[in-house]
A and B are shown apart, each in its own frame.
Chain A
Amino acid sequence: MFDLRFIEVVLMLMLFSGVFAGVFLAVRLARRSSPTNEGN
């Protein structure tokens, strides 16, 4: 139905989307829980 290249691109996009979301949440939480509390 789909060629292999298309599936590869979809999987790569999904991987990077998850990484971006995870990094975003980690940065927000790290800044909030830092002693200076700059992120809040």
Chain B
Amino acid sequence: MTQTGLPGAGAIDSYIGRVDAAARNLPPDRRIELLDQLREHLEAVSLAPDATEASVFAAIDRLGDPAEIVASEDGEPAVLALPPTPARSAWGPLEIMAVLLLIVGGFLIPIIGPLAGLVCAWLSPAWTRGEKWIATLLGSGSILLVIGFLFGSIF
């Protein structure tokens, strides 16, 4: 499923669902490959810094009707001719803030700085949920250690 919060996430899921339904007669491997290619392409469009719902809808329009995509796949090698993805940088203001606050925030404002960095990271759609959890655990690992130490010394 596409990350909620990305522009056009619902439209991407809906389109992938329609392709999935249209592709039910394709061999499972090719169907999965086709769906992965389409989702990757649409998510790349959606992650562009200037992405809007309209740009995602336009990308879906350019891909065309799910039945036509599946028909062109049927009997052909599983290489989908996708329109070029616009050049993009995943580094927006939120991402830069998150990384800077995490790395140097602790030197400027102990505890608050890195916490603000983690908040920025969670607000950004540029990282997956798993990456955010890893960063959170890395960033708060010492706090957990300290809490563990305090509990250990109290009891």
> Do the two chains bind?
yes
Chain A interface (Cβ within 8 Å of chain B)? 10-11, 13-26, 28-29, 32-33, 40
Q: Quick check: is B8 within 8 A (CB to CB) of the other chain? A: no
- Whether B103 lies near A28 (C-beta < 8 A) is no
Give A28 to B99 CA distance when docked, in angstroms.
11
Query: Would you call A25 and B127 a contact (CB within 8 A)?
Result: yes
Query: Whose C-beta in chain A lies nearest to the C-beta of B95?
Result: A29
Cα distance, A28 to B95, chains bound together (Å): 11
Give every chain B residue within 8 A of A28 (Cβ-Cβ): 127, 131
A contacts with B: majority SS: helix
Q: Which of A18, A24, A26 contacts B105 (CB 8 A)?
A: A18
Q: Would you call B142 and A17 a contact (CB within 8 A)? A: yes
Residues of B contacting A20 in the complex (Cβ-Cβ under 8 angstroms): 138-139
In the bound complex, do residue B98 and residue A25 qualify as a contact, i.e. CB atoms below 8 Å apart? yes
B135 cross-chain contacts in A, Cβ below 8 A: 21-22, 24-25
Contact flag A18-B114 (CB < 8 Å), given A13-B142, A29-B127? yes
Residues of B within 8 A of A25 (CB): 95, 98-99, 102, 121, 127, 131, 135
CB distance from B49 to the nearest CB of A (A): 10
By the criterion CB–CB under 8 Å, are A19 and B142 in contact? no
Please name 29 pairs of A and B residues whose Cβ atoms are closer than 8 Å in the assembled complex, sorted by A. A10-B142, A13-B142, A13-B146, A14-B106, A14-B110, A14-B142, A17-B114, A17-B138, A17-B139, A17-B141, A17-B143, A18-B102, A18-B139, A20-B138, A21-B102, A21-B117, A21-B138, A22-B100, A22-B101, A22-B102, A22-B139, A24-B134, A24-B135, A25-B102, A26-B99, A29-B126, A32-B90, A32-B126, A33-B88
Contacts of A33 in B (CB 8 A): 88-91
